[in-house]
Amino acid sequence: MRLLMIGDVVGRLGRRAVKENLPGLVRDEQIDLVIANGENAAGGNGITREVALELFAAGVEVITMGNHVWNKKEIINYIDRENRVIRPANYPPGAPGAGFGRFQTRKGVIVGVVNLSGRVFMPDMDCPFRCADAILEAFKGKSSVILLDFHAEATSEKAAMAYYLDGRISAVCGTHTHVQTADERILEKGTAFITDVGMTGPQDSVIGVKKELVIEKFLTQMPRKFEVASGLYQFNAVVIDVDQESGRALNIKRIQNYE
């Protein structure tokens, strides 16, 4: 079976990239399940119900989030009602929504999708490693194919997580830094890994933001409200082949489409 993981969708331009690229990819690559990180999908900062529905209408089947999950207040009520939107599972107990779920592909195969946040250079969270252990225990006997969106800043933390879960999970896909890395591989025990899937959003930008605003902030060290850039888009994703019986990854390849 084949999974498609789309890198952080940023703003209106990122959503357009999804709409224009996804149907052809699903058809040509024979994708069984589409997952996208949507934590920057609404104006580059959070997500709303309307934006989530727009991504679902475009063909996304599961939306993962990250450290900006609560930036649009309306998501707090929506995420409890919509199980296709998951937030990092290592938020403390009592946070709205769920951090993982089981989703059925077009062929009827159950796939587990997990969202976790890193802790290095990130907001304080519960331990993602111990949280992953607890989730995998809950998946036992229910899902052989499991994908983790690990939303983290430090490349070392992402690699450590991938090796920690090697052989226990189908894929560890890093998100958050908005720059696609060229290190996709299958680890020794059968887990696919990439440090960062990349960004689906404005090409001519600093990780999705108008470049002049970011440059100004670096030059002046003054507060500056960031805005999503315009222009042409890029579409970053990975396609992962998985043996649906064993859950072992067979192949991972990067997708880089530019408008």
| Residue 68 annotated among the catalytic residues of the structure | yes
Out of 68, 151, 176, 178, the active site residue is: 68
List, in sequence order, every residue forming a beta bridge with 234; answer none if it has no partner: 201, 258
Nearest to 66 by CA among 92, 99, 17: 99
Q: What DSSP string describes the chain?
A: -EEEEE-EEBHHHHHHHHHHHHHHHHHHHT-SEEEEE-TBTTTTS---HHHHHHHHHHT--EEE--TTTTSSTTHHHHHHH-TTEE--TTSPTT-SS-SEEEEE-TTS-EEEEEEEE--TTS---S-HHHHHHHHHHHHTTT-SEEEEEEE-S-HHHHHHHHHHHBTTBSEEEEESS-S--S--EE-TTS-EEES---EEEESSSBTTB-HHHHHHHHHH-------B--S-EEEEEEEEEE-TTT--EEEEEEEEEE-
Q: Report, as residue numbers or ranges, the catalytic residues.
A: 68
